[in-house]
């Protein structure tokens, strides 16, 4: 498992305490962005829907600690979630260790009564003590939450803390650049009541399942079955659904969404003032980091100073409306649309499946790190640098090229305004369901440079 040289590094661990009025959680944070790292406290206040929020954060911690496709000998380390603080909302998000499940907890303004002291995104320490404490919050019990601490700890000889460091795999960050692409293209399949959802989960096998299952409806009842006949959606590695079982007794509604090519499935668990999103890849061995749905957008030449300017306009969790920004700031609309695509590709935009819009988030990693994490883009650029592409023809909206790939094998690439085709094994197996192959991407990059 390849890791970056970035590590979560917390001066103090997250702390939990029982107060007279309720429970208090002070979540330690860290960020690679200096202005975030220097900020002592992002948020401090009362969580009104305390019981629901604690249940959802417990489910998120369970998700980031889970693995459904871990090879023998590979060390499993805990990946702490990211929290985005701003626009009177808190959004906690993270991936399973295998990168095949993405989860996000959206705490809406009506569920919060507190001070938003600094807008931004940061990693937070979900240590064992804190995670266990989430499960002790009772109904109607007050929950005080701090992202950071309003006052610095005073460490004396009798009170010392140990710094926690956990390596961050590249694929965790890459996945953040892919999930919103899937989410933005999804369509609603069905909405279930609490009772229907609980009954449905009873049809999910307890053991590990390798074959795909299908959601069907017979009469008034939904169920999962191995039969594809009259299915509403396909679900790979369905045993992963047990991550949500303990949440179902508390929901208001339960919505299924699907990708048009059956490459992923999303669930929205609605708790009125809190929502929890789960996005599942097509199978246990399909991580979101390798999908490459955003690779083409890496070719867009957006200068750093322009991205910094956008960061000064938008705060964490603000709705991102490129058309409105272009009009109000007198920016060329085509450039603004390119910026939208590029920001999405490097994970600086998330997607709200219910509201059907993108929201801004400044991930707690440097832009250089985000830009350098797509191996398919790097490989495509290498093909260009090595002059391995030969354009055979380009007329009447059809471009034909030859690309010399690995071990000198020459592949034929055909591009039209509607589609792309390549003779390589990647394209034969995946088409464009997992993004462009490096040969199609290289031709697109080359021809865009020549325009």
* Residue 426 domain flag: yes
Given 258, 288, 318, the domain boundary residue is: 288
pLDDT digits (tens, 9 = 90+) for 28-87: 777 666 566 666 788 888 999 999 999 999 999 999 888 887 654 445 555 678 889 999
* Position 241 confidence tier, pLDDT thresholds 50, 70, 90: very high
Claim to verify: residue 18 and residue 163 sit in the same structural domain = yes
Q: What is the CATH number of the domain that holds 243?
A: 3.10.150
The residue count of the chain comes to 451
> Is residue 236 a contact partner of residue 286, using CB atoms and an 8 Å limit?
yes
Q: What is the pLDDT of residue 34?
A: 57
Does any domain span residue 175?
Answer: no
pLDDT at residue number 451: 38
Give yes or no: residues 130 and 229 share one domain. no
- Torsions phi, psi for 193 (to 5 deg): -80, 175
Of 185, 132, 127, 138, nearest in space to 161 by CA: 127
Domain C-terminal end among 141, 169, 197:
169
The answer to the question of residue 176 being in a domain is no
Q: Are 36 and 133 in contact (CB under 8 A)?
A: no
Whether residue 381 has pLDDT greater than 50:
yes
Residue with tokens 């499946």: 353
Cα–Cα distance, 321 to 72 (Å, whole number): 45
Average pLDDT over residues 131-159: 69
Do 15 and 141 fall into the same domain? yes
Same domain as 334, residue 268? no
Among 96-100, 156-160, 248-252, 414-418, the range scoring the smallest mean pLDDT is 156-160
Indicate if 279 and 206 belong to the same structural domain: yes
pLDDT of 2:
44
Contact 108, 19 (CB under 8 A): no
Residues 13 and 160 in one domain: yes
Query: Per the structure, how many domains does the chain have?
Result: 4
Q: Are both 38 and 65 inside the same structural domain?
A: yes
Lowest mean pLDDT, pick from 32-46, 234-248, 276-290, 413-427: 32-46
For position 370, what pLDDT does the model report? 60
**CA 197, CA 199: separation in Å to the nearest integer?**
5
What's the pLDDT score for residue 151? Answer: 45
Residues 111 and 127 in one domain: yes
204-229 as b/e: b if 16+ CB within 10 A: beeeebeebbbbbeeeeebebeeeee
Taking the C-alpha atoms of residue 191 and residue 256, their distance in angstroms, rounded to an integer, is: 6
Do 162 and 207 have their domain in common?
no
Residue where a domain stops, chosen among 371, 401, 423? 371
Confidence check: pLDDT of 203 > 50: yes
CA distance 255 to 138: 27
The pLDDT of residue 196 is: 94
pLDDT over threshold 60, residue 160:
no
Domain co-membership, 265 together with 304:
no
Question: Lowest-confidence range among 32-36, 112-116, 444-448?
Answer: 32-36
Q: What is the pLDDT of residues 296-354, one digit of tens each?
A: 555 555 666 666 677 777 888 898 877 777 666 666 666 666 667 777 777 788 899 99
pLDDT at 192 over 60: yes
Which domain covers residue 61, as residue numbers? Answer: 3-94+102-169
Average pLDDT across the chain, whole number = 80
Task: Identify whether 174 is part of a domain.
Answer: no
Q: Are residues 232 and 332 in the same domain?
A: no
Q: Mark whether 195 and 265 lie in a shared domain.
A: yes
Residue 118 lies inside a defined structural domain of this protein:
yes
Q: Choose among 315, 340, 312: nearest CA to 326.
A: 340
| Lowest-confidence region among 43-52, 104-113, 168-177, 368-377 | 368-377
| Secondary structure of the chain in HEC code, one letter for each residue | CCEEEEEEEECCCCEEEEECCEEEEEECEECCCHHHHHCCEEEEEEECCHHHHHHHHHHHHHHHCCCCCCCCCCCCCCCCCEEEEECCEEEEEEECCCCCEEEEEEECHHHEEEEECCCEEEEECCCHHHHHHHCCCCCCCEEEEEEECCCCCCCCCCCCCCCEEEEEEHHHHHHHCCHHHHHHCCEEEEEECHHHHHHHHCCCCCCCCCCCEEEEEECCEEEEECCCCCCCEEECCHHHHHHHHHHHHHCCEEEEEECCCCCEEEEEEECCCEEEEEEEECCCCCCHHHCCCCHHHHHCCCCHHHHHHHHHHCCCCCECCHHHHHHHHCCCHHHHHHHHHHHHHCCCEEEECCCCEEEECCCCCCHHHHHCCCHHHHHHHHHHHCCCEEEEEEECCEEEEEEECHHHCEEEEEEECCCEEECCHHHHHHCCECECCHHHHHHHHHHHHHC
The region of weakest confidence among 4-13, 51-60, 370-379, 398-407 is: 4-13
Q: Sorting pLDDT into bands at 50, 70 and 90, what band is 243?
A: very high
Q: What is the pLDDT of residues 262-271, one digit of tens each?
A: 889 999 999 9
Residue 23 has what pLDDT? Answer: 76
Q: How does residue 126 score in pLDDT terms, banded at 50, 70 and 90?
A: confident
């Amino acid at each position: 498992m390849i890791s970056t040289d970035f590590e979560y590094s917390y001066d103090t661990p997250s702390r939990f305490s029982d107060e007279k009025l309720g429970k208090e959680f002070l979540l330690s944070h860290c960020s690679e962005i200096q202005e975030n790292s220097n900020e002592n406290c992002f948020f401090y206040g009362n969580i009104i829907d305390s019981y629901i929020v604690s249940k959802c954060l417990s489910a998120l911690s369970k998700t980031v600690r889970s693995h459904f496709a871990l090879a023998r000998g590979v060390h499993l380390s805990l990946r702490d979630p990211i929290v985005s603080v701003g626009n009177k909302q808190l959004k906690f998000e993270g991936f399973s260790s295998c990168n095949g499940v993405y989860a996000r907890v959206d705490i809406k303004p009506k569920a919060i009564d507190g001070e938003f002291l600094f807008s931004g995104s940061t990693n937070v320490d979900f240590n064992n003590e804190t995670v266990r404490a989430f499960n002790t919050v009772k109904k109607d019990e007050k929950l005080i939450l701090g992202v950071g601490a309003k006052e610095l700890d005073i460490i004396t000889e009798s009170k010392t803390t140990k710094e926690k460091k956990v390596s961050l795999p590249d694929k965790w960050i890459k996945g953040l650049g892919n999930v919103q692409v899937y989410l933005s293209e999804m369509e609603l399949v069905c909405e279930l009541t609490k009772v229907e959802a609980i009954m449905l989960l009873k049809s999910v096998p307890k053991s590990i399942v390798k074959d795909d299952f299908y959601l069907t409806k017979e009469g008034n009842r939904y169920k999962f079955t191995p039969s594809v006949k009259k299915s509403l959606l396909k679900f790979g590695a369905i045993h992963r659904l047990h991550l949500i079982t303990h949440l179902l007794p508390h929901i208001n509604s339960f919505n299924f969404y699907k990708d048009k090519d059956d490459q992923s499935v999303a669930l929205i668990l609605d708790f009125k003032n809190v929502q929890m999103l789960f996005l599942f890849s097509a199978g246990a061995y399909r991580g979101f980091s390798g999908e490459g749905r955003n690779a083409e957008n890496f070719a867009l030449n957006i200068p750093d100073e322009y991205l910094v300017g956008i960061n000064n306009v938008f705060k964490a969790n603000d709705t991102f409306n490129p058309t409105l920004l272009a009009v109000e700031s007198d920016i060329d609309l085509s450039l603004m649309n390119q910026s939208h695509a590029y920001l999405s590709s490097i994970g600086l935009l998330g997607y709200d499946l219910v509201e059907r819009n993108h929201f801004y988030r400044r991930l707690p990693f440097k832009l250089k790190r985000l830009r350098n994490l797509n191996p398919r883009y790097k490989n495509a650029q290498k093909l260009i640098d090595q002059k391995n592409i030969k354009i055979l023809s380009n007329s009447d909206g059809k471009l034909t090229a030859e690309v010399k790939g690995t071990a000198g094998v020459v592949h034929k690439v055909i591009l039209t305004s509607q589609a792309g085709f390549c003779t390589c094994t990647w394209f034969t197996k995946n088409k464009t369901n997992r993004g462009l192959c490096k040969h199609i991407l290289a031709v697109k990059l080359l021809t865009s440079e020549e325009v």
